């Protein structure tokens, strides 16, 4: 196997024995980016010189006896996450030439661990989308079929991992933006519990649901990365001290993790609209869990059907507020020809924002305006509370919930871009966990007509260990995660 095709765990074993160096690993990834990214278009920025410098530093640290799961491991970060001195565009023209002045907390933590940043990945502009077609710099292509989308909004990160351009990537998930692309690209993607990792240094989308998380080749690798980036941060008041949490840590042994565990199967997720192949492979995976000792329990989440509607009132509302800072005055693109202040605002935002960003700003401003706040935003928040309470009630009866990640496999580029409502409905299975602040992971469980099928596992707050155990147990018994796209 080529070095860029290794998992984090496999690479660490070779680094520790001296069989390879971080420079070798980093060069292999950079060479892979040069070889295939002209087709995939996963990267917006590649930091070749800087990455090799960091790799040499990691090798020097190792030579002095330092050890670490991420020491010398190359990765890519979604381009709405700040890395000091590196261009950060959020895939928008309004930030086309913006250079990040500081590191996001999660980037800082990875630097301390010795991970090597290769570059920044493409996304839907400001993370607004489910296909990575809304980028101002063009769409990313799915490595399994270059005519199809990689999912979104973290599509560049998922495509980069699937195409072996890096050993892992960082994404952000607001309403499925890690899980959806992980499903479409056949990799593992974790949306952690809200508050587990700091949002400081991320471009804010929907502050009440935004979370950063890992996209990796295996569930074990996702755990390694999440352990490194989680924890309390004085710059983010929503973070928690995970060391003080009393949640029971689950065994990661496939022989013991499932014994006596109850898996909830919500009937609302397996109704009309679900592709038959997707349903077949998810049910096959559930049967595998049953063989390993888990008990399957039928449950109901009747209010989840309102999740997309609630999400697309709350999300644009918070977006309209968060994007107000991009006014052509403080930073980013500015229309300098305008002489009146109001014209600076209008023209800078008019030229800088793409269609989807504008659509969400207008929807959100409307929902928050006088006379409509109670009818839309306030009501959406009340229904959100009901959805949260419903999940909490079901998760008292079962240890986790299993659903498909997406109702179908990756669709063709351009197939849904003219229908915003149809695109919003892509999030039908993933918004619930986001609204409730719950952890959820997507793992590959099969292939339909050559395209990956993803399964979502939702757990109790801060019980990521159970999700890791479930994922590792499945991947220990199957080989779906080992499949690679035939990308020349």
H/E element, 17:
helix 8-17
pLDDT value, residue 244:
61
Give the number of domains in the chain.
1
What digits encode the pLDDT tens for the residues 214-255?
A: 999 999 999 999 999 999 999 999 999 876 654 444 445 455
pLDDT value, residue 35:
97
SS3 236: strand
Do residues 100 and 192 touch, judged by C-beta distance below 8 A?
Answer: no
Catalytic residues: 78, 153, 177
How far apart CA 7 and CA 105 sit, in angstroms, is: 24
* pLDDT values of the chain reduced to their tens digit, one per residue, 488 residues: 799 999 999 999 999 999 999 999 999 999 999 999 999 999 999 999 999 999 999 999 999 999 999 999 999 999 999 999 999 999 999 999 999 999 999 999 999 999 999 999 999 999 999 999 999 999 999 999 999 999 999 999 999 999 999 999 999 999 999 999 999 999 999 999 999 999 999 998 999 999 999 999 999 999 999 999 999 999 999 999 876 654 444 445 455 678 889 999 999 999 888 999 999 999 999 999 999 999 999 999 999 999 999 999 999 999 999 999 998 888 888 887 888 889 888 998 999 999 999 999 999 999 999 888 999 999 999 999 999 999 999 999 999 999 999 999 999 999 987 777 778 778 899 999 999 999 999 999 999 999 999 999 999 999 999 999 999 999 999 999 999 999 86
Cα radius of gyration rounded to whole Å, the chain: 21
CATH of the domain at 452: 3.90.1300.10
Question: Got the DSSP string for 118-137?
Answer: EEEE--SGGG--SSS---TT
How far apart CA 34 and CA 300 sit, in angstroms, is: 48
What digits encode the pLDDT tens for the residues 169-182?
A: 999 999 999 999 99
How far apart CA 192 and CA 184 sit, in angstroms, is: 19
What is the residue range of 183's domain?
Answer: 1-488
Which residue's entry shows tokens 């101002």? 136
The answer to whether the Cα torsion of 208, 210, 213, 217 is positive or negative is positive
Do residues 17 and 94 touch, judged by C-beta distance below 8 A?
Answer: no
SS3 464: helix
What's the residue count for the chain? Answer: 488
Phi, psi of 452 (to 5 degrees): -65, 145
CB within 8 A of 258, min separation 6: which ones?
289, 292, 293, 294, 469, 470, 473
Question: Around Cβ 404, how many Cβ atoms within 10 Å?
Answer: 25
Question: Around Cβ 54, how many Cβ atoms within 10 Å?
Answer: 22
Terminal Cα distance for the chain, rounded: 15
SS3 295: strand
How far apart CA 235 and CA 198 sit, in angstroms, is: 8
pLDDT value, residue 334:
87
Phi, psi of 297 (to 5 degrees): -125, 125
What digits encode the pLDDT tens for the residues 16-69?
A: 999 999 999 999 999 999 999 999 999 999 999 999 999 999 999 999 999 999
Cis peptide preceding 153, ω within 30 of 0: yes
Do residues 182 and 168 touch, judged by C-beta distance below 8 A?
Answer: no
């Amino acid at each position: 196997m080529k070095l860029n095709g290794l998992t984090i765990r496999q690479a660490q074993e070779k680094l520790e024995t001296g069989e390879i160096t971080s420079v070798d690993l980093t060069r292999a990834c950079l060479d892979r980016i040069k070889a295939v990214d002209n087709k995939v278009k996963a990267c917006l920025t590649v930091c070749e010189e800087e990455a090799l410098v960091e790799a040499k530093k990691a090798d020097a640290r190792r030579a002095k006896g330092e050890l670490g799961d991420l020491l010398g491991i190359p990765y890519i970060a979604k381009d709405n996450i700040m890395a000091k001195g590196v261009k950060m565009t959020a895939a928008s023209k309004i930030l086309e030439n913006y250079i990040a002045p500081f590191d996001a907390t999660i980037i800082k933590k990875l630097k301390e661990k010795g991970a090597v940043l290769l570059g920044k990945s493409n996304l839907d502009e400001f993370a607004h989308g489910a296909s990575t077609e809304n980028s101002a710099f063009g769409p990313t292509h799915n490595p399994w079929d270059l005519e199809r989308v990689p999912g979104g909004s973290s599509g560049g990160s998922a495509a980069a991992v699937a195409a072996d351009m890096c050993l892992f990537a960082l994404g952000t998930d607001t309403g499925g933006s890690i899980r959806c692309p992980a499903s479409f690209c056949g990799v593992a993607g974790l949306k952690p519990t809200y508050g587990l990792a700091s949002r400081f240094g991320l471009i804010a989308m929907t502050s009440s649901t935004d979370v950063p998380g890992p996209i990796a080749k295996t569930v074990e690798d996702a755990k390694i990365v999440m352990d490194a980036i989680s924890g309390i941060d004085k710059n983010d008041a929503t973070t928690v001290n995970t060391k003080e949490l009393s949640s029971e840590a689950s065994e990661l042994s496939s022989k013991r993790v499932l014994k006596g565990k109850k898996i909830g199967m919500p009937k609302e997720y397996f109704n009309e609209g679900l592709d038959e192949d997707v349903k077949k492979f998810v049910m096959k995976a559930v049967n595998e869990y049953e063989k390993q000792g888990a008990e399957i329990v039928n449950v109901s989440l009747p209010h989840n059907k309102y999740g997309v509607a609630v999400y697309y009132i709350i999300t644009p509302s918070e977006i309209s507020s968060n994007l107000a800072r991009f006014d052509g005055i403080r930073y980013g693109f500015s229309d300098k020809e305008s002489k009146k202040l109001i014209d600076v605002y209008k023209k800078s935002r008019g030229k800088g924002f793409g269609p989807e960003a504008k659509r969400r700003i207008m929807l959100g401003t409307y929902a928050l305006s006088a006379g409509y706040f109670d009818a839309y935003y306030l009501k959406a928040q009340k229904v959100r509370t009901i959805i949260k309470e419903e999940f909490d009630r079901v998760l008292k009866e079962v240890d986790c919930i299993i659903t498909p990640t997406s109702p179908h496999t990756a669709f063709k580029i351009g197939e849904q871009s003219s229908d915003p409502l149809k695109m919003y409905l892509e999030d039908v299975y993933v918004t619930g966990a986001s609204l409730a602040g719950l952890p959820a992971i997507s793992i590959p469980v099969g292939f339909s007509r050559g395209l990956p099928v993803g399964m979502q596992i939702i757990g109790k707050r801060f019980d990521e260990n159970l999700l890791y155990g479930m994922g590792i147990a499945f991947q220990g018994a199957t080989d779906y995660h080992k499949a690679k796209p035939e990308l020349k």
